Amino acid sequence: MIEKQQGIAWFTICRPTRRNAIDYTVMDELHEAIELAEQDDEVKVLVITGAGEDAFCAGGDLQVFHQLKTKEEAYAMLAKMGNILYRLLTLPKPTVALINGIAVGGGCELATACDFRFARAGARLGFVQANLAITTGWGGATMLFEKMAYDKALHLLLQAQTITAEEAERIGFVHRTFHHSLREQCEKEMSGYTNKSTHVLRAYKEAATKRWKTEEFRRRFFAEIEQCAHLWESEEHEQAVQSFLAKRNK
Ligand SMILES: CC[C@H](C(=O)O)C(=O)SCCNC(=O)CCNC(=O)[C@H](O)C(C)(C)COP(=O)(O)OP(=O)(O)OC[C@H]1O[C@@H](n2cnc3c(N)ncnc32)[C@H](O)[C@@H]1OP(=O)(O)O
């Protein structure tokens, strides 16, 4: 769902019964929101958040994507979302992930693609992909190494555990934590940007993201996706997803 208010475009992932897991429909809606934010000069900032109080995003929809068995089938899905997150990463407008609840797997990759990450105090975040015997598959690791200290980023990926928003703030992944009124607090934080000329915002973001518009960066970004697709075919991955779904009688 997308709404526009006082210079901010709000995109909300609306699948609260699935902890806002991302399926193909959410991918298409997110792509549409990014295109609107790019083209509409009244939009100064794009904020991405999740519906409800429990989750920002639980990553890829395992019930849907579990149907994908081969490297080729997995790569098609992973590259679809990878392209969308690359557009988000290089959007010439400031972007915010408003992490209203748990963010795991691809949900953390989505947050990493944004310029700023604001989180509900106590929310848990984790690049849990390794627990499914895969690596990040939407470009998340490549972006993380661009945006965080090398050792902190590598630790997050290797340990594949969730940490609190406060811990994430301490290591520099989260920029602000809010105890209440997340949307109002986010608007207040962004008021310093929404009162600026769209041309200025666009110019600074274009300068900031130039480094990610090189062939070398794109090669690294899509090599990560290919690596995930390769691991996707493994028996370990199949078993890990089966185990998750079995616990929920899927
Ligand atoms: C596709 C690749 C992508 C990438 O990295 O490129 C990835 O994101 S891979 C990682 C995929 N995500 C996960 O492994 C997280 C899976 N979910 C969980 O670990 C938990 O659900 C958690 C921690 C997010 C929330 O736990 P909680 O106990 O609060 O809730 P439930 O587990 O009972 O879930 C409630 C409800 O939501 C459904 N659900 C949750 N996550 C997903 C998901 N990723 N895909 C599909 N469905 C999900 C869960 O099945 C429950 O549904 P119900 O019908 O009530 O059984």
Instruction: Give the pLDDT confidence of 225-239 residue by residue, as tens digits.
Output: 999 999 999 999 999
Q: Which of 3-7, 145-149, 174-178 has the lowest mean pLDDT?
A: 3-7
pLDDT 10s digits, 55-104: 999 999 999 999 999 999 999 999 999 999 999 999 999 999 999 999 99
Q: Which pLDDT value is given to residue 249?
A: 74
Ligand 1 pocket mutation pick from 14, 25, 62, 64 by most atoms within 8 angstroms of CB: 62
Give percent of the chain above pLDDT 90. Answer: 97
CB 120 near ligand 1, within 6 Å? no
Question: 207 CA distance to ligand 1 centroid (A)?
Answer: 37
Q: Which pLDDT value is given to residue 9?
A: 98
Q: Which pLDDT value is given to residue 2?
A: 87
Tracing tokens 């991918």 back to the chain, one arrives at 27
CB 105 near ligand 1, within 6 Å? yes
Q: What is the mean pLDDT of residues 182-204?
A: 97
Task: For ligand 1, atom 52, name the residue with the nearest CA.
Answer: 18
Say which CATH topology domain 2-181 has: 2-enoyl-CoA Hydratase; Chain A, domain 1 (3.90.226)
CB 91 near ligand 1, within 6 Å? no
Question: 19 CA distance to ligand 1 centroid (A)?
Answer: 6
For residue 59, the ligand 1 atom closest to its alpha carbon is 8
Q: How far is CA 153 from CA 41, 145, 192, 199, 218, in A?
A: 34, 6, 29, 33, 19
Q: What is the 3-state secondary structure (H, E, C) of the chain?
A: CEEEECCEEEEEECCHHHCCCECHHHHHHHHHHHHHHHHCCCCCEEEEEECCCCEEECCECHHHHCCCCCHHHHHHHHHHHHHHHHHHHCCCCCEEEEECCEEECHHHHHHHHCCEEEEECCCEEECHHHHHCCCCCCCHHHHHHHHCCHHHHHHHHHHCCCEEHHHHHHCCCCCEEECCCHHHHHHHHHHHHHCCCHHHHHHHHHHHHHHHCCHHHHHHHHHHHHHHHHHHCCHHHHHHHHHHHHCCCC
CB 80 near ligand 1, within 6 Å? no
CB 224 near ligand 1, within 6 Å? no
Of 205, 178, 163, 169, nearest to 46 by C-alpha is: 205
Task: For ligand 1, atom 33, name the residue with the nearest CA.
Answer: 248
248 has a pLDDT exceeding 90: no
pLDDT range class, residue 1, cuts 50, 70, 90: confident
Q: Which pLDDT value is given to residue 104?
A: 98
Q: Which pLDDT value is given to residue 250?
A: 64
For residue 62, the ligand 1 atom closest to its alpha carbon is 45
Task: For ligand 1, atom 56, name the residue with the nearest CA.
Answer: 248
CB 103 near ligand 1, within 6 Å? no
